[in-house]
Chains A and B, each alone.
Chain A
Amino acid sequence: MSPLDLLVAVPLGFMLATLLAGRAARWLILLAVPAMAGLAFWLVLVSPDAAYLIGHWDLPLGILLRPDGVARLMVAATALVIGAVGLHALVDPPEKAGNAAQAETFWPLIYLLWAGANAGFLTTDLFNLYVTLEMVSLAAVALAAMGSLEAALRYFMIALVGSLAYLLGVALLVARYNTVDVTLLSQVAQPDLATMLALGLMTAGLLIKAALFPMHGWLPPAHAAAPAPASALLSAIAVKLGFVILLRLWFEAFPAVTGQPALHVLGGAGALAVIYGSVQAMRQQRLKALVAYSTVAQVGYLFLAFPLVAGAPDPSGAWAGMMMHAVAHMLAKASMFLAAGLMLKAAAGHRIGDLGGLAQAMPMTVTSFGLAAVSLMGLPPSGGFTGKFLLLNAAIAQGAFLYAGVMILGGLLAAVYFFRALSACFGAGPAPREPAIRGVCTAAPLVLAGLAIVIGFAGSALDTLSAIAAPWAAPGVAAP
């Protein structure tokens, strides 16, 4: 067994354990965090670059787990986010008053999400990816249901449509090429009607899961209504899997099929998402809705990067910028949802106007919110800035001034809505309720936000990491 298997197997094991452990389920996180941290550490720094076949069956029968740069970064960031959110939830369980059963459902779900996300980041088999997509969607819908059943139901229906579209695309590819492995597909893919149809269906399905404008409708109600730790996981991790699978499709399997116009459709939708999400965030009165709409905008940047990566003579900069942006958003958004959850516990109400006096009452939490906001706005020094800087560089070098302008505008709009919330915290208000919050709870968002800032200084390391077995470095990586 390789530690690559363990990255998927260990969370699944913990999921089963939580089901058996009953009331003690939540304490398992204390074992899961060091175990998964160790595995993620191994993956990032030690694991060999070579791919690994589960059970040692050759392609196309075997299942390939491949620790490329994208997988390493996303698995590591996932471990950080779920670890921090888990420890936070251990001390401050996400439950409604008097509903202890609900708190218990949280634990198996996060391990399911963890296993699904890790498997999805590591595998390059399109059918396996479908399975992981379903694992993550299932966990995500159930997490959303902890807040609002109605929003979760809507999310469920839309996610189902997305899954079906994706599955239909996979079926078309099987009929056409008799394989669903990304690497093998990249060697045989032809730009014919069946392939384009398949790619279109899969892309549409994944864009729903990734909540790219205009298919974002399900996200704000679901993310805003869920309990804070659940929202953090939904925004940070669940939407990222769709994005990563799209990377596999567009840059690894079918670079020969996707043309400039198609890339600009994605990039244009990304640009519209940045503007639409920001404008909506500015209009929100409730804090968590604001944070949720910021996710709609942030997802936009990830797809705005698609044409920039494809159009660059040397895509390494844009690629690193895109991955930096993804990781920074995971850390910062998880931190922000946790912080927002704590703030709303102490505030007089859920509106931004009710936040007065919080800067005095809970300085650490407001600081976390502020640091996360700095990264999300793309202000330096932060991971958000470094990512945006690299993307801006690529955009200007290609003369894509429209994309550059949208990125800059998006940062300014983000400053408007985040500082509106921060400003309210600094203002006078009714004395906040005495927040019954313990230290670990405030530490989790602070650590995540601090990491989002600190990775801004590690641009070179991240660049090297994201370039491992990147599709642009060696198109069509040979299977072992």
Chain B
Amino acid sequence: MMTFAPLLLVLLPVVAALVSFALPERLSAWRNGANIGVAFVKLLVVAYLLLQAQAGVVFEWRYEFLPGYDFVLRLDPLALLFVTLSVFLWLLTTIYAIAYFDRGPNLPRFFGFFNLCVLAATGVAMSGTAITFFLFYELLTLATWPLVTHRGDDKSLRAGQTYLTYTLAGSVTFLAGILWLQSLVGAIEFSAPANLGAIPPLTLTLIFILCIGGLGVKAAIIPFHGWLPEAMAAPAPVSALLHAVAVVKAGAFGIVRVIYDVYGIGTVAELGLGVPLAALASATILYGSARALMQSDLKKRLAYSTVSQVSYIVLGASLVGPFAVIGGLVHLVHQGIMKITLFMCAGALANRMGITAIAELDGAGRLMPATMAAFSVGALGMIGMPPVAGFISKWYLGVGALQSDAAWAVAVLAGSSLLNAAYFLPLLYRAWLLPPPPGRPAIAELATTRDRMLILPAVVTAVVSLGAGIFASLSFSPLGWATLVGQGYLR
């Protein structure tokens, strides 16, 4: 168990994937059981690892995969932060996906690739070298494509094409950056940053641009965000996964790794790269919010909101002040749990009442109160309303901006919060205060076909979003863990 623990986290989803691919549709109950079971076992493993990590144990598993290049899985505190998030949300998304699809077509394929996707996300989190990171990062691209094109209609196929065009171009850019840096300093280990002192600043800057530019595609930084709204053609569980657990997060996480573990905060500051990146992140935050405001489709609005929110993580990482670092890291978790709540609710609304446009939300709160309550928590959190978790992120980012003498960033945060309120509050107003239009099914009618498993995951994540905000001061809260991670880098 000891050194094999990281490997176990990678191999468990492989088992679930193979079972999903192999079992025919008539044994779907077994497939569902295997999926939930494996997700649950993984959560137990992570719990064990968290306990060990608190005692200061760092698990590592490595083998030489090419001469001079090791395949390394390493569970440092930053890795655990992301692993815990993805494993926890995976369990909930699995339950949700089972309820959402019920008996749809092509489910063996869906759950197979779904597992590979989470395997890749966990792998991205645990990668200890740049080459290992790239392996999992690309596996993520490949495993997500069949999910995006799951429906097989023209719209999904086009979305899949756009997704690949963006992400593959980003990947080769990132690969070029890695290869260039490796030709100068040898294999890149995250646990032991190379000494970059002898490399000319211009070269370092160009490599940084290649790496961040490549990773920025998945993190949906403008102008590389175009694929994300289009990928909304995918089913709701996939959107939840793309936005909260896997793809977008992998990009943001990669940027955090490059800044903290490849370059180091000091080098980034010396090269003067933090401010331009922070400016780009700020532009993305405002642009994403403004575009979200213009959408009339619910999922599209949420998609642009993701474009905006993920850049908070990048903003925190690039501002390099102590509070900003922590704020960016904790938003990695907070954005995940809040955004997955919103997407699961949006999927439930579409699934149960056929609601996809914002104008159709009228009275939804009366018909599906639990769903809309969860949605409201997520939306208020995104705006940054206390006591929901989003408030903590924004508070730390704001204070961090002041610490780094970047008062303009506070203005960006404030402006974005206003925009957030402008595009979320009307939804809540429609849902809770306007009467449902005629022709909607009655509550009694809905109750007969209610599927608790479709609602429960969103309620759980909503409660967790609240809890993460209210109990933020406890050491095992996301904030507590992010502080631990951040202190490691600031020391």
- Write the residues of chain A forming the contact surface with B, with a CB cutoff of 8 angstroms: 316-317, 320, 359-360, 363, 367, 374, 379-381, 385-386, 389-390, 392-393, 396-397, 404, 408, 411-412, 415, 419, 423, 426-428, 457, 459-460, 463
Contact = CB atoms under 8 A, between A and B. Distances in A.
B96 to A, nearest CB: 23
Contacts of B134: 380
Contacts of A463: 66-67
Contacts of A360: 105-106
B66 A389 contact: yes
A381 B135 contact: yes
Interface in B119-164: 131, 134-135, 138-139, 141-142, 145-146, 149, 152-154, 157, 160-161, 164
A390 B69 CA distance: 10
B376 to A, nearest CB: 37
Contacts of A397: 183
A385 B141 CA distance: 15
Given A380-B135, A423-B161, A460-B67, A393 B169 contact: no
Interface string B107-119: 0110000000000
B14 interface: no
Contact of A460 (B66, B108, B154, B157): B66
B154 to A, nearest CB: 8
Contacts, number: 80
B50 interface: no
B176 A386 contact: no
B273 interface: no
Contacts of A411: 172
Interface of B: 21, 64-67, 69, 71, 105-106, 108-109, 131, 134-135, 138-139, 141-142, 145-146, 149, 152-154, 157, 160-161, 164, 168-169, 172, 175-176, 179-180, 182-183
A316 B160 CA distance: 39
A66 B141 CA distance: 43
A423 B157 contact: yes
A392 B178 CA distance: 11
Contacts of B161: 419, 423
15 contacts: A359-B106, A360-B106, A380-B135, A380-B139, A381-B135, A381-B138, A385-B138, A389-B66, A408-B172, A411-B172, A419-B145, A423-B160, A427-B152, A428-B152, A459-B65
Given A317-B67, A367-B21, A392-B179, 16 more contacts: A359-B152, A360-B106, A363-B109, A379-B138, A380-B138, A389-B66, A389-B131, A390-B66, A393-B179, A393-B183, A397-B183, A408-B172, A408-B176, A412-B169, A423-B160, A459-B67
Given A412-B169, A459-B65, A426 B183 contact: no
Q: What does DSSP make chain B's interface, helix, strand, loop or mixed? A: helix
B67 to A, nearest CB: 5
A397 B68 CA distance: 15
Contacts of A374: 142
B161 to A, nearest CB: 7
Contact of B172 (A412, A427, A460): A412
Task: Select the residue from A411, A412, A426, A427 with max chain B CB neighbours within 10 A.
Answer: A426
